[in-house]
Amino acid sequence: MREDSLRKILYVEDDADIRKIVSMSLEMVGNYVVTACASCAEALQVVDEFQPDLLLLDVMMPDMDGPATLRALRKRKSAEDAPAVFITAKVQAGDIAKYRRLGACDVIVKPFDPMVLPDRIGQIWQQFRSSGYDVAG
């Protein structure tokens, strides 16, 4: 069972600049503990030790995209019940429903304001906690 408060976020994003500003914002403005990874492979290396409360995944990444990364992380005990949030610049009609079917509890659309991202993540966490969303999608 997850903690009531959100503390640890595992963030996977291949764009180094976006990764840096999002990590800074989540850590310094949101006071979250963030482990940022550039790829699914990196995330799989750290996830068991980190024990994330929430997964924040870019959708479009080379090699393994966000949904494939989520599938891989879900196989680990340490991430099997962590809610997942996708970040994507590719949102057309039906995309958000598709991402939810793939196991996301919410979707954040790029571009976003890094300064307000911590609040958005906090809201998603509260909704997740109050709704009892099934992470299996």
In this structure, is the dihedral angle defined by the CA atoms of residues 42, 44, 48 and 50, taken in order, positive or negative? positive
Rounded least distance, CB 100 to another protein, Å: 20
Rounded least distance, CB 19 to another protein, Å: 11
Buried b (16+ CB within 10 A) or exposed e, 57-82: bbbebeebbbbebbebbbeeeebeeb
SS3 85: strand
The residues of the shown chain that bind another protein, judged by CB under 8 A, are: 14-15, 17-18, 20-21, 24-25, 28-29, 60, 62, 88-90, 110-115
Task: Name the residue nearer to another protein (CB basis): 97 or 116.
Answer: 116
Task: Name the residue nearer to another protein (CB basis): 82 or 107.
Answer: 107
Task: Name the residue nearer to another protein (CB basis): 7 or 77.
Answer: 7
Rounded least distance, CB 48 to another protein, Å: 29
| CA dihedral of residues 63, 90, 135, 122 (deg, nearest 10) | 110
Task: Name the residue nearer to another protein (CB basis): 63 or 81.
Answer: 63
CA distance 82 to 53: 5
Rounded least distance, CB 122 to another protein, Å: 15
